[in-house]
Amino acid sequence: MTIEAPSRRRAIEDAASGLFHERGYAATSVREIARVLDIQGASLYAHVSSKEDVLWSIVDRAASAFEAAADRGKAAAEGRPPAERLSALVRGHVEVIAADPRLASVFLSEWRHLSAGRRAGILERRDAYEAPFRDVIADGMATGDFTPTDPALAATFILNALNGLAAWYRADGRLTAGRIADHYSDLAVRTLTEDHR
């Protein structure tokens, strides 16, 4: 049975993100993707133009999800103290990962297999995405809410900590996404607050 194009395309991307997440893009063959969908490898090409095209759709969708979360986080915490603004960004980031760890992990780990142009585009978007993290840290340092440190390095430290989640999060794991978000936002904010005992 032939399935309508848009949902079939999406089903291909879902099967692919599962495999790319588990084995990596380069170690996954188009025939393995097709096998998940119970069709022939060559039949995939009725819906996608290349293997890289599938990777690109996944990566682009993940990037958009992170961007949208950051926009919501910024809007929700606008005018609030730096710690709350950082917390909102961290929560948004964790939620995107927990909502679809395979999508996030492909975005975070497999973008290097994109063509040069797309790779450069993703790197730019990642940098733009990270800017508000750096900015809120710098703001917090300026207001005295945060300990003086290197804002770019602190942002990288925090984002790397959060991104690790994509590799190990399981929806049926010990901790719910909400609890992880609570803990992670506490850990992230504390990273920047001096111990005054």
Partner DNA sequence: CCTACCGATCGGTAGG
| Residue 157 touches which member of its own copies, DNA, none, C-beta under 5-8 Å by kind | its own copies
Please list every residue from 15 through 44 that binds DNA, using CB under 7 A.
Answer: 28-32, 34, 37-43
Q: What gap in Å lies between CA 129 and CA 99, rounded to an integer?
A: 18
Work out which of 47, 85, 102, 113 binds DNA, going by CB under 7 A. Answer: 47
Stretch 12-31: interaction string toward its own copies, x if CB under 8 A? -----------xxxxx----
45 makes contact with DNA (CB under 7 A): yes
4 makes contact with its own copies (CB under 8 A): no
Cβ atoms within 10 Å of 28's Cβ, excluding its own: 21
How long a stretch of residues is the chain? 197
Q: What gap in Å lies between CA 87 and CA 70, rounded to an integer?
A: 11
CB of 6 to its own copies, least distance (A): 30
| Residue 120 touches which member of its own copies, DNA, none, C-beta under 5-8 Å by kind | none
14 makes contact with DNA (CB under 7 A): no
**Site stretch for DNA (CB under 7 A), options 1-9, 73-81, 101-109, 169-177:** 1-9
**SS3 state at 42:** helix
- In what helix (H) or strand (E) does residue 177 lie, and over which residues does it extend? helix 177-190
CB-wise, 38 or 78, nearer to DNA?
38
Please list every residue from 32 through 91 that binds its own copies, using CB under 8 A.
Answer: none
Q: What gap in Å lies between CA 88 and CA 18, rounded to an integer?
A: 28
Please list every residue from 52 through 111 that binds DNA, using CB under 7 A.
Answer: 52
| Residue 102 touches which member of DNA, its own copies, none, C-beta under 5-8 Å by kind | none
Q: What gap in Å lies between CA 188 and CA 86, rounded to an integer?
A: 8
- In what helix (H) or strand (E) does residue 159 lie, and over which residues does it extend? helix 151-163
Q: Exposed (0-12), middle (13-18) or buried (19+): which is 172, by Cβ within 10 Å?
A: exposed
